[in-house]
């Protein structure tokens, strides 16, 4: 438009003559609004230490106290894998661990995820690496606890319900919310409204906090290609940010930060 400003068939009339001056709608310092991710509630990212405390609670208190060991191990494994690889809940619960369409490759230390796709184009596949913790927990769950679930048409899926059917997002969410309550009662300083999707933000935020130069790598692992799409998952970790401010949407939760006293 800037190179050839004349309108075709308009007898030399330019775009600016007809519509006004041509101006950029945003500068290079701005990011377009990702409308699909406009927040309606607070979004959290747990600090690395707080995330470790949460996983330690699951391992030392939630697992030993569960009346059905394989069910407790299932939920523990799901939470560990989600916070370690940054998967969406739908991607996590769509992982298959058996059959021809197996998505777990422990030999290579990777898992295949079926991400979001455009309409009529199918799911977009990506392969992400497992951390040592995720690899160890997943390997133990598959070899010891997964065979304890009843066989069904959904047995190829990694995460199942007690009756052997595929674990849905609804039941995963309900179970996660109960675990958050138990963890808070045990003294883990989690937000009362923490949700499974916040584990994805926890992964992305801590990954970049550890290595700010890995931005493109984090985008790829999240399944995004543009900064505007990944922005909702990257929460500021500035120690001067006061988490208690009610007007903040994105909150980095770190109870171990020594906050500066205000003058």
Does residue 9 lie within any of the structural domains? no
Does residue 5 lie within any of the structural domains? no
Helix, strand or coil for residue 99?
coil
Does residue 3 lie within any of the structural domains? no
Say what the pLDDT of residue 120 is: 47
pLDDT band at 177 (very low <50, low <70, confident <90, very high): very high
pLDDT band at 192 (very low <50, low <70, confident <90, very high): very high
Does residue 78 lie within any of the structural domains? yes
Q: Quick check: pTM over 0.75?
A: yes
Does residue 72 lie within any of the structural domains? yes
State mean pLDDT over 113-133. 77
d(CA 241, CA 258): 12
d(CA 50, CA 111): 25
Helix, strand or coil for residue 142?
helix
d(CA 61, CA 29): 47
State mean pLDDT over 46-67. 95
Question: Which stretches within 58-122 are classed as H helix?
Answer: 63-65, 69-85, 89-93
Per the structure, the complete domain to which residue 176 belongs is given by 37-253
Q: Which residues neighbour 157 within 8 Å (Cβ) at sequence distance 6 or greater?
A: 93, 94, 95, 96, 97, 166, 167
pLDDT at position 78 over 80: yes
Distances (CA, A) of 178 to 57, 187, 195: 13, 15, 11
pLDDT at position 69 over 70: yes
Domain count, the chain: 1
State mean pLDDT over 194-199. 94
* Helix, strand, coil percentages, rounded to 5, for the chain: 45, 10, 45
d(CA 224, CA 116): 9
pLDDT band at 258 (very low <50, low <70, confident <90, very high): low
Burial classification of residue 121, based on how many CB atoms lie within 10 Å of its CB (0-12 exposed, 13-18 middle, 19 or more buried): exposed
pLDDT at position 22 over 70: no
Does residue 10 lie within any of the structural domains? no
Query: Residue 232 half-sphere exposure, CB side, CA atoms within 13 Å?
Result: 19
Does residue 88 lie within any of the structural domains? yes
Does residue 12 lie within any of the structural domains? no
pLDDT tens digits for 203-247? Answer: 988 888 888 777 788 888 888 767 666 666 667 665 544 444 444
CATH number of the domain enclosing 87: 1.10.443.10
The CA angle 44-69-114, to the nearest 5 degrees, is 50
């Amino acid at each position: 438009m800037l190179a050839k400003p004349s309108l075709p068939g308009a007898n030399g009339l330019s775009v600016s003559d007809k519509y006004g001056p041509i101006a950029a709608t945003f500068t290079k310092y701005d990011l377009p609004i990702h409308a699909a991710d406009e927040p309606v509630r607070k979004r959290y990212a747990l600090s690395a230490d707080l995330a470790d405390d949460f996983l330690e609670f699951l391992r030392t208190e939630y697992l030993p106290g569960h009346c059905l060991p394989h069910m407790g191990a299932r939920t523990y494994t799901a939470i560990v894998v989600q916070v370690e690889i940054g998967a969406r809940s739908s991607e996590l619960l769509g992982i298959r661990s058996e059959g021809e369409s197996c998505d777990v490759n422990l030999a290579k230390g990777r898992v295949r995820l079926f991400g979001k796709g455009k309409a009529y184009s199918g799911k977009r596949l990506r392969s992400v690496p497992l951390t040592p913790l995720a690899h160890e927990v997943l390997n133990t769950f598959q070899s010891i606890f997964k065979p304890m679930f009843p066989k069904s048409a959904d047995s190829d899926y990694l995460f199942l319900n007690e009756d052997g059917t595929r674990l849905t997002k609804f039941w995963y969410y309900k179970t996660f919310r109960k675990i958050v309550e138990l963890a808070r009662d045990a003294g883990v300083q989690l937000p009362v409204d923490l949700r499974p999707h916040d584990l994805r933000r926890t992964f992305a935020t801590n990954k970049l906090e550890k290595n700010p130069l890995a931005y493109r790598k984090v985008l790829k692992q999240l399944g995004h290609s543009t900064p505007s799409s990944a922005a909702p998952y990257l929460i500021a970790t500035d120690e001067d940010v006061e988490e208690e401010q009610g007007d903040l949407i994105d909150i980095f939760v770190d109870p171990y930060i020594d906050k500066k006293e205000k003058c």
